[in-house]
Chains A and B, each alone.
Chain A
Amino acid sequence: MASTTEPLPLQASHSGTQRPRPWLEAGWGWRAGAALIAICVAAPVATLVWLAGMGDAGHWSHLIRYVLPEALTNTILLLAGVGVLVASLGTGAAWLVTAYTFPTSRILSWALLLPLAVPTYIVAFAYLDVLHPIGPVQSLIRNLLGYASPRDFRLPDLRSMTGAIFLLGFVLYPYVYLSTRVMFATQAANLIEAGRILGLSSRGVFLRVALPLARPAIIVGLSLALLETLNDIGASEFLGVQTLTVSIYSTWITRSDLAGAAQIALAMLGLVVVLIMAERRGRRRQRYSNTQRMRPMQARRLEGGPALLAMALGWLPIVVGFVVPVMYLASETAKHLHLTGGVSEQLWQSGLNTVRISLLATIVVVLCGLIVTWAARGARPGRPARIAGLCARASTMGYALPGTVLAIALLTPINGLDHALSWLRQSLTGMSPGLILMGSSTALIAAYTIRFLAISIGSLESGLARIPPSLEQASRLLGESPTGTFRRVHLPLLRPAIGASALLVFVDTMKELPATLLLRPVNFDTLATWLYAEAARGTYEEGAVAALAIVLAGLLPVILLARHQLKSGH
């Protein structure tokens, strides 16, 4: 509201009126629910700190002397390598399809997202076999060069730091591509034209205008890719790189040392905090640059040799990160089905488990997301708004927690709760029911919810923001209660946002490996853990079938994303 003491404006302009605040608070039930969810998300982190402190000093010195240095060095090397690769691939690809048109460049602009569908552990799984000394690629090279056996000639071993950086980089670059592409497509035009007029070559424009302009976007994409790298367990383990994540897993699984695992997890949390701070900073800067007028830049047409070169460069990451692994998985699956005429009972069971638990997690995550976003809207300014904002922020913290860290953090509270429940049941009924929470998949659902809640909150928040407050006021004045309004007005209008977030959560749950490995009940396999077990045993029989199923499901959100990008790009 404008100040009431100012003199009456000459013209009673309408545009001067500020939109009145809604002042329709969510009921206390909603707000209490949101607070509870926020606490449940924040609690594991607190537990972790407490747990790490519980371990005796002997642990720390053992860790500091033997485990941490190597794991930390490996992790930082991996992050650095993946970071460089991802930033150059992502930014380069984004510039290529924005600044130039050449045959297939329109297809490329969405096809470059395809590697997002391939989880890190699957790309490692596939390439280990493709590039095996007696695998198809190396045999072909030997045939061409006239070598008889792998003893005479072989490529450098994929099981190395370099191999891990290479493979992770080629499936994680789309995070950088996505954020910089949006930046280039909407922001750069004026400045780049100015650069051209001032006499910069096209290389100069890229290096001196576009790149500095895109830096915040690159950092946002980069930090997401690196969080994903930290989260990875399968690829690093298959490729023999002893990272922090792998150390946490082995410390707990093989040595049953929870305090030790918690201490490593805490060290990892430090890295996570650095990455998140980088991401936040990047996003803030991105907002500043957003104030400029948006206009797409004029792409330059390439023909002949340069066009061919651009095509080759553009398709390379897709071939490495998507086409080769998927073709391999498809042919292995076909071979397997041809040989055995079907898949084993256990694989079916794993598939069913995956779908069932992903559906369940999706429902819980979307419901929690609805509660948090609904409670946060319409909060009165001042303390209520601050509390609601805090709840929403706390609830989205989990996306940055690597799966293993989250699992270690959840083990203790869930175990404690389990024993308490068991004791209660026993003293009430005299029967000992065993541990219910760990035995069922409650712990898994909790982990998925904490990790993926940010996805549904983000999607629902932007959905709600598009619904004008007057609709809610109209509904209330037409005699509808707050809850009725939610049901009859907001829920139907939110349906697309709910659908999109449900799809994303479902697929991410399906793909989740590290937390699932640590928290699943005994003898409970999902497609991801089945694949992990096969790869760990080196049996490779039905792993390809499971991997292909995961990749195909993973394509759905990529298609959604590509369609969205195409729409906003034109």
Chain B
Amino acid sequence: MQPLLSVSHISLAYDTPEGRQEIVTDFSMALEKGHIGCLLGASGCGKTTILRAIAGFEPLQAGEIRLGTALLSSSGFLVEPEHRNVGMMFQDYALFPHLTVEKNIAFGLRRRDRREQEHRVRQLLELVGLETVAKRYPHELSGGQQQRVALARALAPEPDLLLLDEPFSNLDIDTRERLAFEVRDILKETGHTALLVTHNQAEAFAIADRIGVMRHGAIVQWDTPYGLHNHPANEFVADFVRREALMAQRAQAYLRGEGS
């Protein structure tokens, strides 16, 4: 079956004052329609840069990115972000502070007529359970509510692919876990394809169908959560998964007041 998103042999680099710095070299991955994928790795492994390349914010040095059969990016070629039909949820949510919740959600719907816009906004408010705060401004909302607005806004124009950049990192641990499951339910319910980037294993395991453990700009293992846990491809993956689980356990014990 043809994957929805295919990233083949891409290389990414930044121009810094000291010269060109390679971030990702010869990276490939694919994601099937309706699946939720995840790039899991420590900060600096290049996962966010890959996400930004899929969104159209980073030019490719080599390789190509396709959505279905359409070419989005290759070396020297770039479809502008606004023409990709890719949605994104940002780490800081990036809600427009001068617009109300409903205006934020309607931002990407300006090509539809007014009745259709209103209908779609109502539909999404209902989906994320925010009907009561439609007229409020982002700064009047809690972190969890802001996050749901960000999700609703990204889904409103019905993107082919949703990107999530560390979407839960600004929330406290309890909200984080609850929301991760909630977001998974919503995405599954609406049948969206999504790619998540995170350094948090618990988040990855809560949401994703497929997880790629990353190191130095490359995927070490691309597998289901079950596969990663039970059949780690090598020492690194085993270590990473185990340590993260251990840390999460310790953190929760600490929060419950059991540890020191």
Which residues of A does B touch, CB under 8 Å?
1-6, 8-14, 16-17, 20-24, 380-382, 468, 470-471, 473-481, 488-489, 492-493
Contact = CB atoms under 8 A, between A and B. Distances in A.
A481 B43 CA distance: 31
A476 B80 contact: yes
A23 B57 contact: yes
B176 to A, nearest CB: 12
A12 B59 CA distance: 27
B96 A17 contact: no
Contacts of B119: none
B82 A477 contact: yes
Interface of B: 14-17, 21-23, 41-46, 48-49, 52, 55-59, 80-84, 86-88, 90-92, 94, 96-98, 107-108, 110-111, 153-154, 156-157, 159, 166, 169, 199-200, 215-217, 236, 240, 243-244, 247
Contacts of A488: 107
A8 B45 CA distance: 9
B102 to A, nearest CB: 14
B108 to A, nearest CB: 3
Contact of B96 (A13, A16, A21, A489): A489
A282 B216 CA distance: 44
A473 B92 contact: no
B42 A12 contact: yes
Nearest to A471: B94
Given A12-B42, A12-B200, A473-B81, A381 B15 contact: yes
A489 B90 CA distance: 16
Contacts of B55: 473, 477
Given A468-B92, A489-B96, A477 B44 contact: no
A480 B82 contact: yes
A492 B104 CA distance: 14
Contacts of A9: 42-43
B199 A14 contact: yes
A4 B43 contact: no
A24 B156 CA distance: 23
B44 A476 contact: no
Q: Per DSSP, are chain B's interface residues mostly helix, strand or loop, or mixed? A: loop
A2 B43 contact: yes
Given A1-B49, A8-B240, A477 B98 contact: no
B49 A473 contact: no
A57 to B, nearest CB: 47
B112 to A, nearest CB: 11
Contacts of A8: 42, 215, 236, 240
Given A6-B44, A474-B94, A474-B153, 5 more contacts: A2-B43, A23-B59, A477-B86, A488-B107, A492-B98
Given A20-B52, A493-B97, A4 B16 contact: no
A24 B159 CA distance: 21
A219 B91 CA distance: 43
A478 B90 CA distance: 12
B14 A1 contact: yes
Q: Per DSSP, are chain A's interface residues mostly helix, strand or loop, or mixed? A: loop
Given A23-B58, A470-B90, A476 B81 contact: yes
Given A479-B111, A492-B98, A4 B48 contact: no
Question: Most chain-B CB neighbours within 10 Å: which of A12, A475, A478?
Answer: A478
A4 B217 contact: yes
A13 B244 CA distance: 12
Given A474-B94, A479-B108, A492-B98, A17 B43 contact: yes
A5 B107 contact: no
Nearest to B106: A478
30 contacts: A2-B43, A4-B22, A4-B45, A4-B217, A8-B215, A11-B247, A12-B41, A12-B200, A12-B244, A13-B43, A14-B43, A14-B166, A16-B43, A16-B44, A17-B44, A20-B52, A21-B14, A380-B15, A381-B14, A381-B17, A382-B15, A471-B94, A473-B94, A474-B90, A477-B81, A477-B87, A477-B159, A479-B82, A479-B111, A479-B157
Given A12-B199, A14-B169, A477 B88 contact: yes
A225 B59 CA distance: 48
B177 to A, nearest CB: 16
Given A473-B81, A492-B98, A478 B44 contact: no
Contacts of B43: 2, 9, 12-14, 16-17
Contacts of A11: 247
Contacts of A478: 82, 87, 107-108, 153-154, 156-157
Contacts of A468: 92, 94
Contacts of A481: 80, 82
A23 B81 CA distance: 12
A21 B14 CA distance: 10
A63 B108 CA distance: 67
A148 B86 CA distance: 91
Contacts of A12: 41-43, 199-200, 244
Contact of B44 (A3, A10, A474): A3
Contacts of B159: 477
Closest 8 CB pairs of A and B: A478-B108, A2-B44, A470-B94, A12-B199, A476-B81, A474-B94, A12-B42, A17-B43
B219 to A, nearest CB: 14
A442 to B, nearest CB: 36
Nearest to B218: A4
